[in-house]
Amino acid sequence: RKEVEQDPGPFNVPEGATVAFNCTYSNSASQSFFWYRQDCRKEPKLLMSVYSSGNEDGRFTAQLNRASQYISLLIRDSKLSDSATYLCVVNMRTGGFKTIFGAGTRLFVKA
Amino acid sequence: SQTIHQWPATLVQPVGSPLSLECTVEGTSNPNLYWYRQAAGRGLQLLFYSVGIGQISSEVPQNLSASRPQDRQFILSSKKLLLSDSGFYLCAWEFRDTQYFGPGTRLTVL
């Protein structure tokens, strides 16, 4: 089992749609969680951290479920510019250092 | 504010040639630094990380090496490139458990 697993994708949605990505992690000692966005042929960029109580940034909402060991990202009112790959990232600090990146989920938003 | 630089942006090298990629960070001191590789259409593979000058940890065995000669400088090297070394090389620095990436170097080995 991979340490961080994401929806396989790709997701193809029309503009204005709501789309949700899920990510599961295997290590219960995981301590911090993030979503990154990566455009084609560019570096990953931090989209948002994921807090235990859930957090929102404009059209983006991130949630964490520690009991079930998954995090989610919800994008409302999708824009063409949201087309990208979304990476789930999990940090573990117990017994040493480890940051694990998911393989990413590709999103295509179409007019 | 902190910035991270990588160069060159693109590189085409023949098999068997040496490699040197450089990463520098500004606006912070003693950062944790990382080298990743991303093959075409694939996820990020951690290659090396460093918590300080001269301190390098390798995550995977390969023909690459890393060095950190100065606090804010991280170098990725190879004595002889392989075809399989082609990819997108990303340097990152860490602040409060969050990693921030440089613009990357796209390497093609022919």
The pLDDT tens digits of the residues spanning B28-87 come to: 989 999 999 998 888 899 999 999 999 999 888 679 999 999 999 999 999 999 999 999
Count of CB atoms within 10 A of residue B27's CB?
11
List of chain A residues whose C-beta atoms are within 8 Å of the C-beta of residue B90: 43-44
The minimal CB distance from B98 to the residues A49, A101, A103 is found for A49
Of all residues in chain B, the one with the smallest CA distance to A43 is: B103
Residues of A in contact with B106 (CB under 8 A): 41
pLDDT score for A27? 86
Say which range, A9-13, A30-34, A40-44, A85-89, has the weakest mean pLDDT: A30-34
**How far does A3 lie from chain B, in Å, by closest CA?**
13
Residue range A41-53: mean pLDDT, rounded? 94
- Can you tell me the distance from the alpha carbon of A13 to that of A17, in angstroms, rounded to the nearest whole number? 6
Per-residue model confidence (pLDDT) at position A57: 95
Name every chain A residue with its beta carbon within 8 A of the beta carbon of B104: 42-43
Q: Which residues does chain A have within 8 Å of residue B93's beta carbon, measured at their own beta carbons?
A: none
Provide the shortest C-alpha distance from residue B105 to chain A (in Å).
10
**Strand stretches in B1-110, DSSP E:** 3-7, 10-13, 19-26, 32-38, 44-52, 55-58, 64-70, 73-78, 87-95, 98-101, 105-109
With pLDDT > 90 as the criterion, what percentage of chain B qualifies?
A: 83
Q: How high is the pLDDT of residue A63?
A: 97
Under the banding of pLDDT at 50, 70 and 90, the label for residue A90 is: very high
Choose between B43 and A38: higher pLDDT. Answer: A38
User: In this model, does residue A36 exceed pLDDT 80?
Assistant: yes
Range A29-41 average pLDDT = 93
Which has more pLDDT, A97 or B97? B97
Interface test with B, best of A23, A43, A46 (most B CBs within 10 A): A43
